[in-house]
Amino acid sequence: MTRSRRWRLRSTLLPLAVLMSLVLPALSPAGAHARADGRIIGGTPVDIADHPWVVALVDTTTKRAFCAGALVAPAKVVTAGHCLLNRDRRRLRVVAGRTDLFAKDTGTIARVAGAAVHPGLHTPMPYVNDVAVLTLDGALPYGTVPWVSPREDETYEPGTTGWVFGWGRTEESGTASPRQLRTVSVPLWDGDACEAAYPDRIDQSAMVCAGTGGSDSCQGDSGGPLVVDGRLVGLVSWGTGCGRPDLPGVYTRLDRYATWIDRAVRAA
Ligand code: ARG
């Protein structure tokens, strides 16, 4: 092929390809959603109005939601301690009342006035004592979620159905995160089985495993609420991969931290 013919071909195909890539996704939004829903995390999109206490932690520099949290009092958010590592609080925002993170005309954005990170937080992974309480610069007009009491073994009975919420990845190897809040039901694991899945990395009294192959939390969901019967019982903390059958998600077991949270929430 001569140089000029090759160029002519490219100059006609290139704009066409660009045009197609712009038009095709716009034509098939339903197809795109169906694919995401069927993937390994296995959740479904939900509306924030039904779960008004779920919040996103957004970095003003990257404009991305990097973690989630739970509104437990009008100006207090419980999240994972590791979410605050190397984060400048002045660049941190709590986005509440917003289902679609791109829908800028919905919900409320709060600044963070203070953060109490558990003094025993251990990093890097596997995180230990992975809990923090943020104090917002003002009260948010949304419903709050109650949290567990100290030492509630019955609540963590193996097989109990928990629900986890977040804007994190819908597949292990994907980079894109969904715009819309999602939830998935995850069965709680027996402590010994959890420890067998992650030898030497589990403290059964402070962590709980949950999920199945196909239903799990993932990157970006950290700090997100794990709820049983309408009460906050855990926080997304860590895991190997996402949605793998033998490797459940590991959650901060909040009955262990209930007293610490009580105190942090009462503090100004
Ligand atoms: N550490 C992750 C985060 O920062 C959460 C990973 C949870 N993984 C899992 N398989 N459940 O977002």
Q: What is the CATH number of the domain that holds 86?
A: 2.40.10.10
Shared domain for 243 and 261, answered yes or no, is no
- pLDDT of 20: 37
Q: Which atom of ligand 1 is nearest to the CA of 248?
A: 10
Shared domain for 135 and 262, answered yes or no, is yes
Give the residue among 40, 31, 101 at the shortest CA–CA distance from 66: 101
Overall number of domains in the chain: 2
Q: Residue 39 falls within a domain, yes or no?
A: no
Q: Do residues 72 and 140 touch, judged by C-beta distance below 8 A?
A: no
How far away, in angstroms, is 7 Cα from ligand 1 center?
47
How far away, in angstroms, is 25 Cα from ligand 1 center?
29
Shared domain for 114 and 190, answered yes or no, is no
**Cα–Cα distance for residue pair 152/19, rounded to 1 Å:** 57
Shared domain for 121 and 235, answered yes or no, is no
Place of tokens 């996103």: 56
pTM: 0.85
Helix (H) or strand (E) holding 21: helix 3-27
How buried is 203 (Cβ within 10 angstroms: 0-12 exposed, 13-18 middle, 19+ buried)?
Answer: middle
- pLDDT of 130: 98
What residue numbers bound the domain in which 86 lies? Answer: 8-34+49-144+257-266
Q: What is the pLDDT along the chain (268 residues), one digit of tens a residue?
A: 344 444 444 444 433 333 333 333 333 333 233 233 333 378 999 999 999 999 999 999 998 999 999 999 999 999 999 999 999 999 999 999 999 999 999 999 999 999 999 999 999 989 999 999 999 999 999 999 999 999 999 999 999 999 999 999 998 887 777 799 999 999 999 999 999 999 999 999 999 999 999 999 999 999 999 999 999 999 999 999 999 999 999 999 999 999 999 999 999 7
Give the residue among 189, 252, 188, 245 at the shortest CA–CA distance from 225: 252
Residue of 84, 128, 177, 238 best suited for mutating to test ligand 1, as the one with most atoms within 8 Å of CB: 238
